[in-house]
Structure 1
């Protein structure tokens, strides 16, 4: 535990860190800080920065972290990103995960790495914080065919001490009887900005009718009707895929999906192709009276999606 204290923060800054992260509206004001890098014993290839890190404002278009609770971040960040365009690219793919509400500390954990708070030395998340977010969010990510990424392996972060960012919200607060969680692709608000986020992160997008829904080996199998489908984004789909289109909700055999309770309507289907299987990423009932849906569909053909590497849809 002492080894991390020597590499992270002197004791006099501990109270300041906790206050800045979770109480005060902004971080310490400064232009530059000496950058002392922390190198995990389990990650000998971690980067060591010989140069001073800049302290810059978190831009409004860094949606993952703009509302995290402090206003300034250090660059390079703790994931080796050296420029804001690089940070935006990589952080953008994680924005939809926040909407899944898989853990209350998801934003704190991710932003401690993508947009670390500006202090004399970098502050890493505690291992327990990483494990809490991973244990709650990894099953959601697996539903979409994404594993928990190597760059966020929890063993590389310091064992809990007073000098790393701890878990803020206990996952064991609820005492009520458990309620089955909604299947992640079915748990999306009908808002234009959310629809467009899913549009950009999906390989293909269709307006179609559903013939039937079956359960198969723990998954839910959504079988498209033979009627004509409106293609909003073709992606890797081929004509033969469209003839007998089957989309799967991974591990979705038993979770609720209220959109599929009544199939007597059109649906907006978004998905990605993983190996030879089509996975459902998001589903909406095609509500003609919805201004949000109409607005999103109108701009799908002309909208320029960000070109980021998708870590999570």
Structure 2
């Protein structure tokens, strides 16, 4: 028991323990029972210690090599884990808290010890305090599956806060609208494209301020639907997009409304929310790669639209 306490106290001893554990082949397969506090259940499938695959982007660089499957969110296969975890990848890039990956991966890709190790309630609470406001700017509430009250109070057998209670970086003096904080990199755009409900190439006719949001009215002509998702054709005819809580923050991409834009978004409560915006640049290799990827590879193989909050614009 004392050995486990030292392992769980900090990340580095935890990783050392995992390295020793994964080196012992006879411990790679064993059965276990989930804890009661989250309405634990018996798994029909025998628990395994498996390698964290490189394409599990949420956790492939978390610092240890093997994970427990089924995981602590009741995902019993690796394809299901990848689908469900994929939508959370952009939240890491948003860097809302230093412990975001530790918290999420403790559930999606839990460490392989002799019993399930859950995150402590305090870890959940500090991540929620920093990241929930970012999620809410896109119309996402903190999800029920991550209700902090479900997790145990701090003890020696749960994962506590690792890197402190502050954000990764201090906020800039002038905060750009969250939806406009964009790095035009192929991997960033690929994740955004797959996590969005719809993707458009369009011109903007007019921009207004309405109840704290920016309201974008699309030009009727020269509008191309790159990804329709579940939206109906009539919803694209007279297109109005909203940038939530963006009335008072700058969005450099919208300083000049001329030309085409690459728009990504989601449908929330019958409103179309813009979640990412790029100035269209046909000479951009990154943009060409991302758009070609969308038509060449099915997003269902990488990012599931039913998984998590679809935070596809947090880069």
1:32 matches 2:32 = no
Greater helix fraction, Structure 1 or Structure 2: 2
1:101 matches 2:92 = no
Counterpart of 1:68 (choices 62, 70, 74) is: 62
Q: TM-score, normalization: structure 1?
A: 0.87
1:249 matches 2:243 = yes
Q: Alpha carbons of 1:282 and 1:52: their partners in 2 closer, same or farther (altered >3 Å)?
A: same
Q: Alpha carbons of 1:271 and 1:133: their partners in 2 closer, same or farther (altered >3 Å)?
A: same
Q: Give, in whole Å, the separation in 2 of the partners of 1:15 and 1:300.
A: 46
Gaps of 5+ in 1: 1-9
Q: Which residue of 2 is the match for residue 6 of structure 1?
A: none
Greater shift after overlay, 242-251 or 26-35? 26-35
When the two structures are aligned, how many residues end up with a matched partner? 301
Larger RCO: 1 or 2 (CA < 8 Å, sep 6+) = 2
Q: Which residue of 2 is the match for residue 273 of structure 1?
A: 267
Gaps of 5+ in 2: 311-315
Displacement of 1:238: 4.2
Q: Give, in whole Å, the separation in 1 of the partners of 2:65 and 2:291.
A: 34
* SS in structure 2 of the partner of residue 199 of structure 1: helix
Greater shift after overlay, 122-131 or 206-215? 206-215
Query: Could you give the per-residue CA deviations for residues 237-286 of structure 1, whole angstroms, max 9, x where no partner exists?
Result: 44543343111112222233221122223110011222321011211111
- The residue correspondences of 1:5-84 to structure 2 (distance < 5 A) are 10-17=1-8, 18=10, 19-21=12-14, 26=19, 28-29=21-22, 30-40=27-37, 43=38, 45-49=39-43, 53-84=47-78
Q: Alpha carbons of 1:177 and 1:288: their partners in 2 closer, same or farther (altered >3 Å)?
A: closer
Displacement of 1:73: 0.7
Q: TM-score, normalization: structure 2?
A: 0.86
1:192 matches 2:189 = no
Q: Give, in whole Å, the separation in 1 of the partners of 2:205 and 2:17.
A: 53
Q: Which residue of 2 is the match for residue 140 of structure 1?
A: 134
Give the root-mean-square deviation of aligned CA atoms: 2.5
